[in-house]
Chain A
C-alpha cells in the first residue's frame, strides 16, 4: 500500500493577526502519511502558528489546509481528530492520569472496557503502567511529558502535533525523551508534526525538517541534507556550526567560483550565485576544514590560533584566517598531536566543494 504523500497539505497558506504583518507567508508544505516532520525555526518564525492552524485554534487568513485531501478550515478543532502535545503538557490538573487519558475516549463514547484497554496500552507504551491513579502534580516533568504523549496518542489519531514538548525538561531527560518519542513514532507509524527551536532535537528525530524563518519555509529536506547542503545562508547559520566569509564573485566556471574577500581569495561551490560581481557568503562547516592536510586541497591558507578551548572529546580552535577572526575548527582529541598552541601559525585546507557560496547576509 503506497502511502499518501500529501496526507497533510498546506496550500498557499497566509496568516496575519493584525492585518499588517504576515506571520506566515505563502506556505506550501506536503507531509506524507507516517512521516516525522519537524518545523524548526527561531521564535517568531511562524512555526507554532502553522501548528495552531492545523490544530484548528487559528484560521488561515488565506489558502487552505487539507487533511487526507479534505479541506479542514471549517472543521472545529474537536472534530479534526488531531492529537496534540502542548509545550507545558496541558495535563488536566484535577484529573488522575487515568482520567486524563480516558478523556478523549469518553467524549468519543467508547465503552468502559475498551477505555480501560486503550489506557492500559497507552500507558505501557510510555512505560508508565501503574501510575493510573496519580495526579499530574505528583509526577516528575518527564513523567508528565510521557502522560501528555500517551494522551495525544490514546485515541489513535492520524496526526499528532507536538509543540516544543521537551522544552521544559533538563538536558539528559530531553535526550532520552527524544529517543523515546522517536521509537513510539516508529512502532505505531503515526504522522508526527513536531515544532522546536532546538536544532539538535530536530536532527535527531525527524524524517524531514522544515526550517522556518520570517514566515517562510527556507528549506525542507532530510536532516543530513539540511546539514550538509544548506540552500541559503540562514539555514547554514541556523543548523550546526558554520564558518563564513563574505565577498564578491570574481570568476565563475566549471562548477566552481572564485570569491574575492577583503584579504585574499578562495574557491567555492556556487550554490546560489549566478554571475560575476554578485555578493556572496561562503559557508564552510568546521569539520570540513583540516589542519595541515595530507592530500592536496584546492583551498590552502595560513591562520593564527587565537583561542583554544578543551571540550573533552574534541578541542575547539579559534583562528584568524583571511581576515575572519571567528574561524572555528574542531580537532578530535584522538588525532595525532598537532601543534595547537595559542599564537601558532598553522595551515588550513578545505575542498572548494565543501565551501558553499550562498546568498549574501
Chain B
C-alpha cells in the first residue's frame, strides 16, 4: 500500500507527497504566524505564571543558601546522636557570615516555623557571636552547647537538617492539614486545627450543589428558550443575559439587600406568615447565602450551553417519539434527554469549575461558614503574605479541576461537550 503511494509521481516526476508538502508549506507557515501572538500570549500569561507558582510552592532554598557549610558537614552525620564537631564548626562559620549580613533574624524565623524555640536560642547565640565570646581555638561544639540547653537537644539539629533540601512538599501537606514529623514522616495536625480539609470539602460540596441547583433551574429555562416562538424567546434570552451583563459586585450586593435579616425576602416571609417577625432566619453570612447568590450568578453558564444544544434538536424527534407510542415522559426521557447530554455536560463542567474557584461572592455573602478555599488562598496572598502556601493551594485547586475534567472525560467523553 505504502509503496504504491510512494510511486505516484506528478507530471514533473516529483513524488506526489513531496509536491503536496511543498504546496501546503506556505499555508502552514501563514497559519502558524497567525496563531503566534496568541501562543506567546498564552505562554506569557498562563504557562509561565503557573510554572512560577509551582516553583514558589516547592521552593525552600533560603536555609540551604544560608548554611552551606553546615549541610556539607551534616552529610556524614547519621542524624540520631548529637552531630560531630565539624557540623558545629560549619554552622558557626555560616552563622558568622549571617551575623555580618544581618540575616540571622530570617534564619530564626524560618527555623522557628520548623520547630518552636529556635527564635530565642538563635538570638542568644547571636549575642555571644557579637560579643566575640566564642573562642575559635577551642571546641566550638562545647561552646555552642553551653549557650542554651536547646542547643544540646538533638531534635533541634534534626530540624536544621530537615531544611537542607532546596525543595519541599511541606506546603502541600499543610494544605491538607498534614506536616513532616521530627523523624521526617507525615503527621496529621490535631483534629480541632484541621481547617483546610473542612474548606476543601465545603468547596466541593458547595460547587456540587450550586451545579445541581443551576442544572435543575437552567434545564427548563433552556428548553423554553429553545422551543418558544422567536418573540418570546428573545425576551427570555434577555432576561437570562441581563444579570450576566451586570457587574458581579452589583449582583452580589443586591443579594445582600434581599437576603439580610431585615431584607426583602425575610419581610415577605413574615408578611405571608411563614416565619415569626422575631424569629427571622439568617439567610446571609452562611451557606444559604453562598448557594443562592452563586446559583443565580452561575446560572447563565448552565443555560447557554444547554440552549445551544437544545436548539439543534429537531422538534420532529419528540413528535416521532410520541407518534410511535411513547408517552410524553418516555419521549422526553428516552429521546430528548439523551440528546441534551452534551449540553448538560458542558454546562455542569463549566459551572462546577467556576464554582470551585469562586471568590468574591462567598467572600461577601458567605460569612464564616460559607467561605471557600479560594478565600483562604486570598487570605494567604494578602494577609499572611505566605505566597508559597497560596501557590501550593492554588495548584492543588488546579489539580482538582483537572481531575474533575478527567473523570468527566471518562464518564461522558470530552468529544461530547458542546459549548455552543
In contact, A108 and B314 (Cβ under 8 angstroms): no
Q: Hey, which chain B residues are within 8 Å of A94, CB to CB?
A: 338-339
In contact, B325 and A90 (Cβ under 8 angstroms): no
Contact of A90 among B319, B326, B338 (CB under 8 A): B319
**Closest residue of chain B to A93, judged by CB?**
B339
Binds B, one of A25-33, A81-89, A177-185: A81-89
Chain B, residues 199-230, CB within 8 Å of chain A (1/0): the string is 00000000000000000000000000000000
Chain B residues numbered 323-342 whose CB sits less than 8 Å from any CB in chain A: 323-328, 330-331, 334-335, 338-339
Q: Is A21 an interface residue (CB 8 A)?
A: no
**Closest residue of chain B to A80, judged by CB?**
B323
With the chains together, A279 CA to B388 CA distance in Å? 97
With the chains together, A155 CA to B324 CA distance in Å? 8
Chain B residues numbered 291-335 whose CB sits less than 8 Å from any CB in chain A: 314, 316-317, 319-328, 330-331, 334-335
In contact, B326 and A78 (Cβ under 8 angstroms): yes
Contact of B316 among A88, A107, A161 (CB under 8 A): A88
Q: Hey, which chain B residues are within 8 Å of A104, CB to CB?
A: 324-326
| Closest beta carbon of chain B to A19's beta carbon, Å | 15
In contact, B325 and A78 (Cβ under 8 angstroms): yes
A94-B339, A103-B334, A107-B330 known; A86+B316 contact, CB < 8 A: yes
Q: Hey, which chain A residues are within 8 Å of B317, CB to CB?
A: 90, 92
In contact, B325 and A107 (Cβ under 8 angstroms): yes
Q: Is A77 an interface residue (CB 8 A)?
A: yes
Q: Hey, which chain B residues are within 8 Å of A78, CB to CB?
A: 322-328, 331
Q: Hey, which chain A residues are within 8 Å of B320, CB to CB?
A: 84, 86, 90-92
A77-B319, A86-B316 known; A92+B335 contact, CB < 8 A: yes
Chain A residues numbered 52-66 whose CB sits less than 8 Å from any CB in chain B: 55-57
Contact of A55 among B319, B328, B331, B335 (CB under 8 A): B319
With the chains together, A83 CA to B331 CA distance in Å? 15
Residue total for A at the interface (Cβ-Cβ under 8 A): 28
In contact, A83 and B319 (Cβ under 8 angstroms): no
Q: Hey, which chain A residues are within 8 Å of B319, CB to CB?
A: 55, 57, 77, 84, 86, 90
Q: Hey, which chain A residues are within 8 Å of B314, CB to CB?
A: 88, 90
Q: Hey, which chain A residues are within 8 Å of B330, CB to CB?
A: 107
Contact of A82 among B321, B323, B327, B328 (CB under 8 A): B323
Q: Hey, which chain B residues are within 8 Å of A151, CB to CB?
A: 324
With the chains together, A245 CA to B217 CA distance in Å? 65
Q: Hey, which chain B residues are within 8 Å of A79, CB to CB?
A: 325
Q: Hey, which chain B residues are within 8 Å of A90, CB to CB?
A: 314, 316-317, 319-320
In contact, B323 and A103 (Cβ under 8 angstroms): no
With the chains together, A231 CA to B109 CA distance in Å? 106
| Closest beta carbon of chain B to A172's beta carbon, Å | 26
In contact, A84 and B335 (Cβ under 8 angstroms): no
Chain A residues numbered 90-119 whose CB sits less than 8 Å from any CB in chain B: 90-94, 103-104, 107-108
A55-B319, A87-B316, A90-B314 known; A103+B324 contact, CB < 8 A: yes
A90-B314, A92-B317, A107-B330 known; A83+B338 contact, CB < 8 A: no
| Closest beta carbon of chain A to B65's beta carbon, Å | 61
| Closest beta carbon of chain B to A226's beta carbon, Å | 29
Q: Hey, which chain A residues are within 8 Å of B316, CB to CB?
A: 86-88, 90
**Closest 7 pairs between A and B when the two form their complex, measured CB to CB:** A104-B324, A90-B320, A90-B316, A84-B323, A77-B322, A86-B316, A78-B322
Q: List 22 A-B contacts (CB under 8 A).
A: A55-B319, A55-B323, A56-B322, A57-B322, A76-B328, A77-B322, A78-B326, A84-B320, A86-B319, A86-B320, A87-B316, A90-B319, A93-B339, A94-B339, A103-B321, A103-B324, A103-B326, A104-B325, A107-B325, A151-B324, A155-B324, A155-B325
| New contact pairs (15) apart from A86-B316, A88-B314, A104-B324, CB-CB < 8 Å | A56-B323, A57-B322, A76-B322, A77-B319, A78-B325, A78-B328, A79-B325, A82-B323, A84-B319, A84-B324, A86-B320, A92-B317, A92-B321, A107-B325, A161-B323
